[in-house]
């Protein structure tokens, strides 16, 4: 009689770069790691109704700071700019 062999759980590695992570996920599925994920409650927001593109001139240092901060939050620089503008407008309205 053969004994059942217990399979070791696969772990998601720690990645040094986004490229390394992308290469890993090119050959793996999140379904390969069922015990890693957990259910969360998330709010799905509707897309912007009337999108307007606004060009803003920024000093190169400010642009780089935004890029770094956006990267830490895993969002794009324009998303961070939109968040900052919305927050600034809300604060200005409160200060009336």
State pLDDT tens for residues 75-90: 999 999 999 999 999 9
**49 lies in some domain:** no
pLDDT at 8: 59
Mean pLDDT over the full length of the chain: 87
**45 lies in some domain:** no
Instruction: State yes or no: pLDDT of 2 exceeds 70.
Output: no
The model carries a pTM of 0.49
Let me know: does 80 contact 70? Beta carbons within 8 Å.
yes
Number of domains in the chain: 1
User: 44-69: per-residue pLDDT in tens?
Assistant: 888 777 778 889 999 999 999 999 99
Distance separating alpha carbons of residues 35 and 38, to the nearest angstrom: 8
- State which residues form the domain around 28: 18-38+54-94
């Amino acid at each position: 009689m053969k004994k059942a062999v217990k399979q070791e759980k696969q772990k998601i590695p720690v990645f040094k770069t986004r490229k390394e992570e992308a290469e890993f996920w090119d050959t793996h599925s999140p379904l390969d790691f069922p015990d890693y994920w957990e259910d969360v409650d998330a709010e799905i927001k509707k897309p912007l109704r009337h999108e307007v593109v606004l060009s803003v001139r920024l000093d190169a240092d400010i642009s780089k700071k935004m890029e770094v901060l956006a990267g830490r939050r895993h969002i794009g620089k324009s998303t961070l700019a939109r968040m900052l503008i919305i927050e600034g407008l809300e604060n200005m309205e409160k200060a009336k």
